[in-house]
Amino acid sequence: RRLRPILALDDFEPAARRKLPRPLFGYIAGAAETNSALNDNRAAFGEWAFRPRYMIDVSRRAIATELLGESWRAPFGIAPMGLSAMMAYRGDLVLARAAQEAGIPMVMSGSSLIRLEEVAKAAPGSWFQAYLPVDEARIAALIGRVALAGFRTLVITVDTTTMGNRENNIRTGFSTPLKPSLRLAWDGISHPRWLCDTMARTLLSHGMPHFENNFAERGAPIIARHVERDFGARDHLTWTHIARIRQQWSGRLIVKGILHGEDARRAAEAGVDGVIVSNHGGRQLDGAISALRALPEVRAAAGGMAVMMDGGVRRGADVLKALALGADFVFVGRPFLYAAALGGEAGVRHGIEILAQEVDRNLALLGSLSPAELGPQHLLRIAGVPA
């Protein structure tokens, strides 16, 4: 019922906005400083038009896609998003299970509130995204733990040298950990559906949520006055760390947050299997180039590595444009978290289904048989046209 009016991924946002307390919605929707990186992620797609071909037999088209030796049912997956379990009851599990059932990859965030072992068990096809801890010993411990849990694909996010400037979070009163306040209490009480569906259910069945994984060995409570933070101390990391992780990690290794051809080359030298071209949904460096714009250069420099992208993908048409510009695969963030907040697993499945159908329909309309066929010949640049 709640999902019936949702006809496109963008429909999840206003519905989730009504359900979620303001600081939580703002945390998902927000970006860094002026939002220019965020807005350009969408604008970049509007600068390309399709060149469809007709009277081609596309009746046997398929959207299934090979990536790093595995076959997925669609050329897209779910991007890692931290704190998902605050937005939806057991959020990471909701996203992971829905993805598993739909045959697409879900990347579990390293700043999750749910233990990585639980997600690996519930949805063994999930990938794990790590924010690297500060020192070598803790990096090694984290990698060991991720391997032991059964993850086969490790994503290292490299664009968080330090935390992006998200003024929006200060304005709405969002922080990690949350600071108890009257305003926060009122925000919760005035969103009773969220309070019952997510917060009360979580507290009753699992107690106070804790940061898990690499934030602190024991996990720090989500609501607290003082907490030891790792963020901000990550500004000394280099490609040497990635090369060292490569020696320790025998699964697939992916680096997320690449926007430069030269960095793709460095990643390849470090022995990485794939890169995710991304500006972190505009949440890190404001004014950073959008992933779609960076794609062709990264593709040219990537050699045999898999090239993935995220940022602003909202339609099947966006997926096809990214693939035509050199991506092997794309990821979608915010809409799936809104979907989880609004409708749990059924909401996320609905979102995946909408996007998969759009990809399939547009593939036919473009006159193409498979995502792997797409290339620059399918697009024309229409520079200067506002999105």
| Contact range with ligand FNR by CB under 6 A, out of 105-113, 260-268, 353-361, 364-372 | 105-113
Query: Contact with ligand FNR (CB under 6 A): which of 6, 15, 20, 28?
Result: 28
If the CB atoms of residues 79 and 114 are measured against ligand FNR, the closer one turns out to be 79
Tokens of 237: 């990391």
Is the N-terminal amide bond of 23 cis, ω within 30° of 0? Answer: no
Tell me: does residue 256 bind ligand FNR (CB under 6 A).
yes
Q: How many amino acids of this chain bind ligand FNR (CB under 6 A)?
A: 25
Find tokens 């639980």 and name the residue. Answer: 118
- The least distance separating ligand FNR from the CB of residue 1, rounded to whole angstroms, comes to 26
Q: Which is nearer to ligand FNR, 263 or 367 (CB)?
A: 263
> Which strand (E) or helix (H) includes residue 205?
helix 201-206
* DSSP 8-state assignment for residue 165: -
Helix 291-301 × helix 36-45 angle, to 10°: 70
Distance, C-alpha 280 to centroid of its chain: 8
Token representation of residue 362: 């547009």
Give the footprint of ligand FNR on residues 173-192 (CB under 6 A). Answer: none
Q: Does 3 bind ligand FNR (CB under 6 A)?
A: no
Minimum distance from residue 279 beta carbon to ligand FNR (Å) = 8
Using CB under 6 A, pick the residue from 79, 106, 132, 139 that binds ligand FNR: 79
- 3-state secondary structure (DSSP) of residue 262: helix
Q: Map residues 204-233 to x or -, x wherever contact with ligand FNR holds by CB under 6 A.
A: ------------------------------
Site for ligand FNR in 344-363 (CB under 6 A): none
Burial of 192: CB neighbours in 10 Å, binned 0-12, 13-18, 19+: exposed
- Strand 274-277 with 306-310, pairing: parallel
Q: What is the DSSP string of 66-104?
A: EETTEEESSSEEEPP-TTHHHHSTTHHHHHHHHHHHHT-
Choices 56-64, 305-313, 346-354, 377-385; region in contact with ligand FNR by CB under 6 A: 305-313
Q: Is 91 in the site for ligand FNR (CB under 6 A)?
A: no
Q: Structure tokens of 143?
A: 């990698």
Residues 6+ apart with CB under 8 A from 163: 231, 232
Q: Give the catalytic positions in this structure.
A: 280
Among 332, 348, 356, 359, binds ligand FNR (CB under 6 A): 332
Binding mask 276-295 for ligand FNR (x = CB under 6 A): --x-xx-x------------
Q: Are 77 and 106 in contact (CB under 8 A)?
A: yes
Q: Which of residues 147-166 bind ligand FNR (CB under 6 A)?
A: 157
Binding site for ligand FNR (CB under 6 A): 27-28, 41, 79-82, 109-111, 129, 157, 256, 278, 280-281, 283, 310-313, 332-334, 337
